[in-house]
Structure 1
């Protein structure tokens, strides 16, 4: 499964893609201490992260240029707020993983890789995501 970090911007914003956001003078609302905050703290070169209890709340309250968050909650936010849209693309991806003990590592890794790929290919992961109220598009592409 992939969890993507995306940007929301005002409809009238000149930003069309996530890659365009890191510019001088751009302020990005982000949830303090979140994975998005940690990623942006390491990668932003020109824009400034403005931290709050919720990224969209500080974005709205302070009239920021951009809000950062995870894909599905941000899509839901945009759907409820007609003056806001998503910039195309993701600024980060978090790949979910499966762990194992180290005592049988090569065999365990091979087995887990095979099982996970099979579960993705036969639609099990997409159906599980749907049952959990998540978008089936979050399924990671084949390895």
Structure 2
């Protein structure tokens, strides 16, 4: 684990002023972008105690999703989810600890173990039994890669008897396809990269995953192509362990501000993540 302690308060205030975002005082008072006049926002001390009981904000980072988190040339963590975690820690005046994981499934499995306070995962009803999700901040498409000469042309073509599809175990694609596929079977690998290896080495019918990294694989490896269309659009959200209602409201409003202020859109452009799109505004349930 890597402790990251930074003070970005001045930069954060400057961004908020330039974008017309909420001031910290307005956010604390509950005047969030989407929570409405009747909502009551917990004060930062209350949020700090509830969200970060250890005195530091432990953010689970899934490095298996390169669209949102990756390691730089010197192994430094970088990406939109890390930027959001740093910004939130700064606002709450908390030290930040990044807790690395290599799959979304392992992040979810750790939710009940007290290993993290904040995470960045795709919204999924299975996970919602243990985790509270904010509204989405970005949306990501899921699709398939097949061999160049395969007869599959559309997403629906893969769901046929005998078809075998590689997928990362516990990933959003695994959860979704487990529910949706009627005839095809899934072959699960430990990570998304391992799923691609499984697909290639065992000559499976397809591999399912995030469109952006699959596009890179196709460009770098002859003999493969993307299937047109998508089998689902994943909504990436910030999430907390259950039973943290005051912290949840604060984080929900924080995410809406980051969307409305341009913070998320600027980060997507900075990291050249053209496959992800900014999610629309939302109100707290």
The TM-score bracket by the shorter chain reads: 0.7 to 0.9
Q: Which moved more, 1:92-101 or 1:7-16?
A: 92-101
Matched, 1:58 2:195: no
Distance 1:40 1:108, change over 3 A: closer
> 3-state DSSP class of the match of 1:90?
coil
State the Cα RMSD in Å: 2.7
Q: Do the aligned partners of 2:173 and 2:208 also contact (CA within 8 Å) in 1?
A: yes
Q: Residue 226 of structure 2 corresponds to which residue in structure 1? A: 86
Kindly provide the CA deviation profile for residues 37-62 of structure 1, in whole angstroms up to 9, marking residues without a partner as x. 22222221100101223211111111
Q: Indicate which of 13, 17, 20 corresponds to 2:157.
A: 20
Q: Do the aligned partners of 2:143 and 2:232 also contact (CA within 8 Å) in 1?
A: yes
Task: Point out where structure 1 has 5 or more consecutive residues left out of the alignment.
Answer: none
Q: What is the CA–CA distance in structure 1 between the aligned matches of 2:251 and 2:225, rounded to whole Å? A: 43
Q: Do the aligned partners of 1:126 and 1:136 also contact (CA within 8 Å) in 2?
A: no
Q: Residue 126 of structure 1 corresponds to which residue in structure 2? A: 265
Task: Point out where structure 2 has 5 or more consecutive residues left out of the alignment.
Answer: 1-137
Residues matched between the structures, number: 138
Larger Rg: 2
> 3-state DSSP class of the match of 1:129?
helix
TM-score by length of 1: 0.78
Point out which structure has higher relative CO (alpha carbons under 8 A, 6+ apart): 1
Q: Residue 6 of structure 1 corresponds to which residue in structure 2? A: 143
